[in-house]
Structure 1
Amino acid sequence: MLAQADIALPAAARCGRAPTWDVGTGTLLWTDPPSRTVHRFRPGGGNATMQVPQPAGGAKPRSRGGVVLHLAEGIALFDAHGETRTWLAYWGREGFTGGATLVDRRGRLWASTVRADEGGQGWLVRVGPDGSAGVLLDDLRAGLGLGWSPDDTRLYVADAGTGRVDVLDFDLATGSAGNRRALCEVGGEPAGLAVAADGAIWTAVRDKGELHRYASTGELLDSVPLPAKRPTGLCFGGADLTDLYITTATDDVPEPGEADGALLALRDLPEGLRPHAFTG
């Protein structure tokens, strides 16, 4: 039986999203798109915020310092002080915003877009350190989670619009992905995705207030109830990558409680995969 999640940071976020462990600084990056804020949480310390000009669907560390942000209109680089913005890839399209964001072992960025009503036509793009971009999928309903298998041969996509986690064959050397197929039906709306070193796949089910853990074959292994009604994303973090951090929302939650909008943590789990920094 897995332990219950605790409140790591009482944040009252409107819609916390995209938690990302920054190995270099030992901090957790996360965003609140409706509030146009990017957060950096230091366990046992404070939570710094940065205002950004657009909703940020994700923030990832850069190997050169600073962060790369998945904004509503594209991918932008920010320096370490958050003062200088440089567009790396721009695709401004009315009615769309950032979905999921992930960096592969070669330092390339992968980003999905979501239509505001989650009605489809979202796409998945690969962005190189030099800003070169290529579309891999163009039919996502609400692609809100991305993850790799431990051996880098699979790319997982959690789509809240279809209620599925899909899997694609992935080639690390070329950065290509294809042969998309269903891995498992979640029985709800999967939001966020995290993969453990043993290959198990975690996703938050945002309309049920719980976490699911799946085997790489698609078999449901665990269902963990949460104290928050609307979980929105998750990632492994901590010094040993054995803590699972979970973002949550207050938007669309009637009578939110203390845990709604907070940053939660599920402790002492099997180790998660080590995250990577963007090399651009």
Structure 2
Amino acid sequence: MRHAPEIAVRERAELGEGPTWDAAAGRLIWVDILSSRVHTYDPSTGHRTVLATEQHVGAAKPRAGGGLVVNLRDGVGLYDAAGAFSWLARDPVPGRRGNDAAVAPDGALWTGTMRYDEAEGGGSLSRVAPDGTVTGVLDASTVSNGTGWSPDGRLMYYIDTPTLRIDVFDVDGERVLDRRPFAVVEPGSGWPDGLTVDGDGCVWVAFWDGAAVRRYTPDGRVDRVVDLPVRRPTACAFGGAGLRDLYISTARTGLDAPHPWSGSLLVVPDAGQGLPGVPFAG
């Protein structure tokens, strides 16, 4: 790598997650799940905002008309441009919460869930249409995490963390088919968490307890490793001018002696070439 990781925003997030570039607003959005906070950061001005949600928030993504769509404990909610909240798809299940989420090329939101106790098979992956219609995709995940699409939209990558795999599906309209391993993670090298796909079709994966982000080529080989001083990076996304900077969310939860950067938002300047994101169409 030409550049080492730096602190973009010094923070003490318990479980920082889900960095997402909001192109319309020129800002980076990410969440602190366990503190029920949605953070934003404008790298050109340094301006920050913090939104407190009423429930644990697994992900927050920009909406096409302004505002945010959020994956909460009890379902998917909407904030309008003025900050007013409403439920889009509410489905409370005791002991379960929303986790990572991603917006597909067609503007639908793909949402993951998991149980607080991480019980095997207690999570899911669903597609939430802009009108709130929910379609189940996977109903026996454990810790539903990174989701992303290839540059041509024909492949979808997905991580159920305890499997120690990055899986790939063929995409047929709104359906995904033929699930198969894209890459298998060596035990002891960390747990695959959030991911992003770059303009070359490579998949960047953050490794919880692995202190690194690794880039996989389209044929599933690791060709770059970003070593980090923090033990628990959680997810990554490209943002900033030209989508060249790699932002990395991190966590401090469960660590007896966290690194001073743990919980902060990190950035690797000029790490690669990101793909333009799609806002939620609802």
- CA distance in 1: counterparts of 2:185 and 2:256, whole angstroms: 24
Aligned to 1:226: 228
Q: Which secondary structure does the structure 2 equivalent of 1:161 belong to?
A: helix
Counterpart residue type for residue 125 of structure 1: S
Give the drift of 1:2: 4.2
Q: Which secondary structure does the structure 2 equivalent of 1:131 belong to?
A: coil
Aligned to 1:175: 174
- CA distance in 1: counterparts of 2:271 and 2:148, whole angstroms: 18
Q: Which secondary structure does the structure 1 equivalent of 2:276 belong to?
A: coil
- CA distance in 2: counterparts of 1:101 and 1:28, whole angstroms: 16
Between the aligned residues of both structures, percent identity stands at: 40
Aligned to 1:130: 131
Aligned to 1:206: 208
- CA distance in 2: counterparts of 1:247 and 1:183, whole angstroms: 23
- CA distance in 1: counterparts of 2:103 and 2:160, whole angstroms: 18
- CA distance in 2: counterparts of 1:99 and 1:79, whole angstroms: 21
- CA distance in 2: counterparts of 1:225 and 1:253, whole angstroms: 19
Give the drift of 1:269: 2.1
- CA distance in 1: counterparts of 2:11 and 2:47, whole angstroms: 11
Q: Which secondary structure does the structure 1 equivalent of 2:34 belong to?
A: helix
- CA distance in 1: counterparts of 2:76 and 2:90, whole angstroms: 6
Give the drift of 1:40: 0.9
- CA distance in 2: counterparts of 1:89 and 1:70, whole angstroms: 10
The count of corresponding residues between Structure 1 and Structure 2 is 277
Aligned to 1:255: 257
Any residues of structure 2 matched to 1:239-254 within 5 Å, and which?
239-254=241-256
Tell me the TM-score normalized by structure 1: 0.96
- CA distance in 1: counterparts of 2:24 and 2:10, whole angstroms: 24
Q: Which secondary structure does the structure 2 equivalent of 1:240 belong to?
A: helix
Segment drifting more, 92-101 vs 190-199: 92-101
Aligned to 1:29: 29
Question: Do residues 109 (structure 1) and 109 (structure 2) align?
Answer: yes
Any residues of structure 2 matched to 1:1-280 within 5 Å, and which?
1-43=1-43, 44-82=45-83, 84-121=84-121, 122-171=123-172, 174-187=173-186, 188-280=190-282
Give the drift of 1:139: 1.8
Counterpart residue type for residue 178 of structure 1: L
- CA distance in 2: counterparts of 1:217 and 1:118, whole angstroms: 30
Counterpart residue type for residue 116 of structure 1: Y
- CA distance in 2: counterparts of 1:2 and 1:253, whole angstroms: 30
Superposed CA RMSD: 1.1
- CA distance in 1: counterparts of 2:33 and 2:231, whole angstroms: 18
Contact 1:89-1:132 at 8 Å conserved across structures = yes
- CA distance in 1: counterparts of 2:146 and 2:7, whole angstroms: 22
Counterpart residue type for residue 175 of structure 2: S
Contact 2:55-2:72 at 8 Å conserved across structures = yes
- CA distance in 1: counterparts of 2:3 and 2:40, whole angstroms: 25
CA deviations over 1:118-163 (Å, ceiling 9, x no partner): 2232111001111111001112121211110011011100221111
- CA distance in 2: counterparts of 1:157 and 1:196, whole angstroms: 15
- CA distance in 1: counterparts of 2:219 and 2:143, whole angstroms: 23
- CA distance in 1: counterparts of 2:140 and 2:223, whole angstroms: 29
Contact 1:230-1:253 at 8 Å conserved across structures = no
- CA distance in 1: counterparts of 2:139 and 2:264, whole angstroms: 33
Give the drift of 1:88: 0.8
- CA distance in 2: counterparts of 1:257 and 1:209, whole angstroms: 11
CA deviations over 1:224-252 (Å, ceiling 9, x no partner): 21021110111111121111100101111
- CA distance in 2: counterparts of 1:260 and 1:165, whole angstroms: 25
Q: Which secondary structure does the structure 1 equivalent of 2:77 belong to?
A: strand
Give the drift of 1:267: 1.2
Structure 2: runs of 5+ lacking an equivalent: none
Contact 1:17-1:233 at 8 Å conserved across structures = yes
